[in-house]
Amino acid sequence: MTIYSKIIGTGRYLPEKILTNKDLEKIVDTNDQWIQERTGIKQRHIAADGQYTSDLAYNASIKALEAADIQASDLDMIIVGTTTPDLIFPSTACLLQSKLGCPGIGAFDVNAACSGFIYALSVADKYIKSGSHKRILVVGAETLTRIVNWEDRTTAVLFGDGAGAVVLEASKEQGILSTHIHANGDHADLLTTNKGPSRGMDDSQTGPIAIMMKGNAVFKVAVKTLGSIVDETLEHNNLEKSDIDWLVPHQANLRIITATARKLKMDMNQVIVTVDQTGNTSAASVPMALDYGIRSGKIKKGQTVLLEAFGGGFTWGSALLKL
């Protein structure tokens, strides 16, 4: 008997504080029109002082568990995709496990930048299909605004904080049909941070940790790469573009989302778009967009959904699933 991993519950959480483009005009040399024309972003959410990635993950996870109608004690594993952990160690997944009150089960983080949730979902899918685990909580959570250089208008306008979560369960019904993950470290310098523990974290030498990006180069590689993974995913499942009901893309930039939709020959009415309200929340963007699509009633049970993401590394990935 074939074992599938099926999403049985989703949840998302956004911090209360909202930073609009108009607000950004006061702190960096930019304007609302410029931001919207180039990114599609209107606002982003900012974590409060003392509110950490594990806190955002916890709030999203509680909603996902409620939607799945299970308790945290029913879980076999927790996997968190994040590039902005609370601490170097313990992992954010371990901190989340403690908050949820389910000690003993495996818990670990996956760092694949904006593709982190897809990577984590792929790992969880393999555990369930192997028969070793029955229920896994998969989370994408970020507090990216903590590593933004607010004087750099090319990156300050892009990022926001948030978390999304899904509960996977072993099922006889089709759920996740396939996952596909890739990376190319040769492009590491195009989207990166200026420091890390091994290279040194001394602020007196290089200033605070911050995201650095060569935007035009990233855009070109992202559009080409996401187009190729769409083809790979469809070919693997012997499907046509017309078989996809919904595209749930990484919410990085509206122009990249639109280009991917064109590749699929999909109307934008079949694409879940939240980037205007959240900005780029990295690993949190896909699960938050999926939860929005389901809770808004757009994505319905039985439909075929394509998830895809691209991020620093470079990393990229996709997941095709039946809901």
- Please name the helix (run of DSSP H) or strand (run of DSSP E) that holds residue 211, with its range, or none: strand 211-213
Query: What CATH number is given to the structural domain containing 51?
Result: 3.40.47.10
Mean pLDDT of 118-139: 98
Q: Give the integer Cα–Cα distance in Å for 227 and 189.
A: 22
Q: 197 and 247: one domain?
A: yes
Q: What is the pLDDT of residues 260-277, one digit of tens each?
A: 898 888 899 999 999 999
User: For residue 203, is pLDDT > 90?
Assistant: no
Q: 47 and 28: one domain?
A: yes
The single residue of 45, 94, 114, 253 carrying the catalytic annotation is 114
The single residue of 21, 111, 253, 280 carrying the catalytic annotation is 280
pLDDT given for residue 232 in this prediction = 96
Check if 280 is active-site. yes
Identify the CA nearest to 6 among candidates 169, 237, 245: 169
Check if 102 is active-site. no
Range list of H helices, 170-214? 203-206
pLDDT given for residue 199 in this prediction = 86
Give the domain range for residue 85: 4-173
Three-state DSSP at 126 gives helix
pLDDT given for residue 204 in this prediction = 66
Using 50, 70 and 90 to split pLDDT, how confident is the model at 301? Answer: very high
pLDDT given for residue 281 in this prediction = 98
pLDDT given for residue 295 in this prediction = 98
Q: 260 and 285: one domain?
A: yes
User: For residue 285, is pLDDT > 80?
Assistant: yes
Check if 180 is active-site. no
Q: Give the integer Cα–Cα distance in Å for 271 and 258.
A: 9
Partners of residue 179 on adjacent β-strands = 319
**pTM for the structure as a whole:** 0.97
User: For residue 121, is pLDDT > 80?
Assistant: yes
Three-state DSSP at 315 gives strand
Q: 166 and 186: one domain?
A: no
Using 50, 70 and 90 to split pLDDT, how confident is the model at 205? Answer: low
The single residue of 133, 187, 250, 253 carrying the catalytic annotation is 250
Contacts with 59 (C-beta within 8 Å, 6 or more apart), sequence order: 11, 13, 163
pLDDT given for residue 161 in this prediction = 98
